[in-house]
Amino acid sequence: MSAETASASAPRPTTLLFGEVAVGDVLPELVVPLTRTLIVSTAIASRDYQDVHHDAKLAVERGSKDIFMNILSTNGIVGRYVTDWTGPGAVLTDVNIRLGAPNYPDDAMTLTGTVTGKDDAPAADDTGGVEVTLRGVNSLGDHVTGTVRLRLPDRAAGHAARRGSGR
């Protein structure tokens, strides 16, 4: 992974505010190297012991070219992609994804996304809803497509506290 890609995909240390987001905003690209270790370890971490996710010989016997990533791993990577962009205070409320081409080892998946929707105004809890449409592509084509809905704070916690204290 190049330094440019690594910095573009670094997690945001502070939370993006609802007012800082506009429909049409483009998320930074994230390149995920698809190592055999990533595919096996994330399947095990999600308690998916299906042999096609860790046993290459059995995966080939079942018609695949190799082991491949499970949907729970893809779902986790999609969540990471969006929260790396928003920062730690975002709350994912809906992840709606569809899988396409398998993620095989020794490839890479490149995630891209765009803000495609935004609430008209913040809710009573001072958060606003945002929709991101995304795509993850590997050398075979689209691995994942879908949308993620999330809530972002309308203002920084410190700003709200200062405002309430009369300062």
Q: Taking 60 as the threshold, does the pLDDT of residue 87 lie above it?
A: yes
Region 77-91: what's the mean pLDDT?
97
Nearest to 153 by CA among 89, 108, 104: 89
pLDDT classification of 124: cutoffs 50, 70, 90 = confident
Region 28-36: what's the mean pLDDT?
98
User: What does the pLDDT read at residue 8?
Assistant: 52
Say what percent of the chain tops pLDDT 70.
88
Q: What is the CATH number of domain 3-164?
A: 3.10.129.10
- Encoded tokens for 86: 């928003």
Other Cβ atoms less than 10 A from the Cβ of 59: the count is: 20
User: What does the pLDDT read at residue 144?
Assistant: 98
- The string of pLDDT tens digits covering residues 127-167 is 999 999 999 999 999 999 999 999 999 987 644 433 343 43
Least confident segment among 26-30, 33-37, 156-160: 156-160
Region 39-62: what's the mean pLDDT?
94
Q: According to the 3-state scheme, what is the secondary structure of the chain? A: CCHHHHHHCCCCCCCCCHHHCCCCCECCCEEEEECHHHHHHHHHHCCCCCHHHCCHHHHHHCCCCCCCCCHHHHHHHHHHHHHHHHCCCCEEEEEEEEECCCCCCCEEEEEEEEEEEECCCCCCCCEEEEEEEEEEEECCEEEEEEEEEEEEECCCHHHHHHHHCCC
User: What does the pLDDT read at residue 122?
Assistant: 82
Phi and psi at residue 93, in whole multiples of 5°?
-110, -20
Strand partners, 145: 98, 135
The edge-to-edge listing of strands for the beta sheet with 91-99 is 30-34, 107-118, 127-138, 141-153, 91-99
What are the residue boundaries of the structural domains of the chain, listed by start? Answer: 3-164
- The string of pLDDT tens digits covering residues 105-114 is 999 999 999 9
Least confident segment among 21-25, 31-35, 44-48, 83-87: 44-48
Region 60-71: what's the mean pLDDT?
97
Say what percent of the chain tops pLDDT 90.
82
Q: Using alpha carbons only, what angle is made at residue 70 by residues 69 and 75, rounded to the nearest 5 degrees?
A: 105
User: What does the pLDDT read at residue 167?
Assistant: 36
